[in-house]
Amino acid sequence: MPLQHPKSSEKKIVVIIGGGFAGFNAAKSLANKKEVHVILIDRRNHHLFQPLLYQVATAGLNPSDIAVPIRARFAKAENVEIHMGAVEKINLSEKFISTDHGDLAYDYLIVATGAQHSYFANPEWEEYAPGLKTLEQATEIRRRILSAFEEAENEIDPVKQKSLLNFVVVGAGPTGVELAGAIADIARTVLVKDFNHINPASARVLLVEAGPKILASFNEKLSQRAYRDLQELGVEIRLSSRVEKIDENGVTVAGEFIPSRSVFWAAGVQASRMSFTPEVAKDRAGRVIVRKDFSIENHPDTFVIGDMAHFELSQNNLLPGLAPAAIQAGKFVANVVLQSINGQVRSSFKYLDKGQMATIGKRKAIAQYNSLRMTGVIAWLAWLFVHVLYLIGFKNRISVMAEWTWSYIFSKRGARLITSRDWKLQK
């Protein structure tokens, strides 16, 4: 039985599923618009600045530095309601969704549930190779990295000790490159003086990539420069190397077994799962194929945006899975909803390419924006500027700047905590 929201009987109900870049910005654009009552649903209570997750995973930033409570951001928007909950099904024909706390009818629906890691046909690898999409995963990776050094310090067997200091990152997209660079950096600068029985700088950091180059979405020259910068940091790169097996002892890459307790997964992304009635057209990565206004064929009031959407900019040229693209789509779709309510013609989406960037270790980066390319320290400063600027919330920006300034000057990390999964008394 669809649950119609009583408050909003005179307004159109817009349900947004997902509080990531796409859904969060759609909601922001609809805040305080008199035509609509917005219900934003997310499984988590926070909006996450995903591009900096690797900093949490490597003890550079606190979880709360890159996350804001969604509810707090909409406290002043009377027409926006936040539900913390999970959506199980979308019924397009009857226009309602089923959540874990009841059904909800909508006039307009915006689906922005994002993407998650894919272990291809090997879901059992997850236990030994966590991905980096959530705060929980980031603190788990942090726990594993810091614990590996602690265990190596206590290990008497030199072979085991050495294997504890092998770190393997699978996938050389921006996340994999940034994670590998940060691990190399933490070992060689932050931890280097803290141990008695091991030399943290001797840690091996391997970056494994199935394709023929790293950062494949970047310009060829930038990719090569990043390759050299990473090597200089001490990261060993294995190109055209497919992972064949991961278990508690290590990882097998192109026939070679690498003993490691610290394998991290930054390869393979698939759209999050969602059940539609009737079923909708999806591409091979599970993304919903959408029209020029992000609506689903035959369902003009249902939109899919962000990493969940397959949107063709032109033939064989998809809208990329980047934060700026998701933000633009969110704002655009919010406007389309208002146009539709007001009987106006729907505008069509124009993507403004804001380029892309990736950091390599502490002081280098690569960045491209149209024909402009930057490398080294200049690119890193640009990266710093853009990321701090984008970080939502007055307080977070200052706190992140303070955190970074401090860790840059003193080569320290503020969030070097090993917290366990279990909170109960250890007797």
Our CB check for a second copy shows the closer of 377 and 402 to be 402
42-81 residues in contact with a second copy (CB under 8 A) are 43-46, 62-65, 67, 69, 71-72, 74-76, 81
Residue 117 interacts with a second copy (CB under 8 A): yes or no: yes
CB nearer a second copy, residue 130 or residue 215: 130
Report the candidate in 304, 327, 243 with the shortest Cα–Cα distance to residue 51.
327
Q: Is 150 in the site for a second copy (CB under 8 A)?
A: yes
CB-nearer residue toward a second copy: 37 or 364: 37
For position 154 contacting a second copy by CB under 8 A, the verdict is yes
* 139 touching a second copy, by CB under 8 A: yes
- Output the CA–CA distances (angstroms, integers) from residue 391 to 52, 69, 129, 289, 315, in the order listed: 9, 13, 28, 30, 33
Residue 22 contacts by C-beta under 8 Å, 6 or more apart in sequence? 112, 114, 305, 306, 307, 308, 326, 327, 329, 330
Work out how close the CB of 168 gets to a second copy at its nearest, in angstroms, rounded to a whole number: 18
| Helix, strand, coil share (%) of the chain residues, nearest 5 | 35, 25, 40
Query: In angstroms, what is the minimal distance from the CB of 191 to a second copy?
Result: 8
In the list 281, 377, 378, 417, the residue contacting a second copy (rule: CB under 8 A) is 417
* 175 belongs to the binding site for a second copy (CB under 8 A): no
* 295-296, strands of its sheet edge to edge: 80-84, 36-42, 12-17, 108-111, 299-304, 295-296
Q: How far is CA 334 from the centre of its chain?
A: 23
Q: Which of 51, 130, 173, 361 binds a second copy (CB under 8 A)?
A: 130
Whether 178 is catalytic: yes
Question: CB of residue 423 vs a second copy: minimum separation in angstroms?
Answer: 4
Question: Are the beta carbons of 177 and 230 closer than 8 angstroms?
Answer: yes
Q: Which of 178, 248, 256, 403 is catalytic?
A: 178
Tell me whether residue 112 or residue 325 sits nearer to a second copy (CB atom).
Answer: 112
Instruction: Print the binding letters for residues 74-113 with a second copy: x by CB under 8 A, - otherwise.
Output: xxx----xxxxxx--------------xx-----------
Q: Which is nearer to a second copy, 104 or 329 (CB)?
A: 104
Identify any residues that bridge with 208 across adjacent strands, giving them in sequence order: 170, 238
Question: Count of residues binding a second copy (CB under 8 A)?
Answer: 72
CB of 42 to a second copy, least distance (A): 10
Residue 357, SS3 per DSSP: strand
Does residue number 401 form part of the binding site for a second copy (CB under 8 A)?
no
| 350 touches a second copy (CB under 8 A) | no
How far, in whole angstroms, is CA 165 from its chain's centroid?
A: 26
10 CB burial (10 A radius; 0-12, 13-18, 19+): exposed
DSSP element (H, E) containing 205: strand 204-208
Cβ nearer to a second copy, comparing 3 with 216: 3
Q: Are the beta carbons of 67 and 74 closer than 8 angstroms? A: no
Tokens 């929980």, residue located:
136
Residues with catalytic function? 178
